[in-house]
Copies of this chain bind each other. A is one copy, B any other.
Amino acid sequence: MKSRKEHSTNSINEKYWKEHCGITQILSLIGGRWKINILVYLLNEKKLRYNELKKRLVGVSERMLIAKLKELESDGLINRIVYQEVPPKVEYELTERGKSLEDILNRMEKWGEANLPVK
């Protein structure tokens, strides 16, 4: 994965706001193209294998999916469960912290649906 430039204004701003503001913090955990949808699928289906996620996330590339799963895992929102089998089998599920987002995700989804035809 690319490393961020520690001393760019961009990352200084990001750091400042994450530290001073919870809402920026949560955005950084669930923001971007794919993460929030991964969370929603896991919320609805409890456990999903890597390939099952991939099928649902229409258009996602291997690289992005893996990268986002790793971020979610290291942020403590999902668990990665490895089965010692061949061919490999890996499942993903929400952690308790991940599940605690349920209410917010549901409300966001609802608001989004209600406001779909924007512009």
Contacts and interface: CB of A to CB of B under 8 A. Distances in A.
A54 to B, nearest CB: 14
Given A59-B9, A74-B119, A118-B75, A109 B23 contact: yes
Interface string A1-36: 000000001001110110101111111011111001
B25 A118 contact: yes
A28 to B, nearest CB: 9
A97 B60 CA distance: 31
Given A21-B109, A22-B114, A25-B116, 14 more contacts: A13-B33, A16-B58, A16-B59, A21-B112, A23-B109, A25-B115, A26-B115, A27-B36, A31-B32, A97-B115, A100-B111, A104-B104, A104-B107, A104-B111
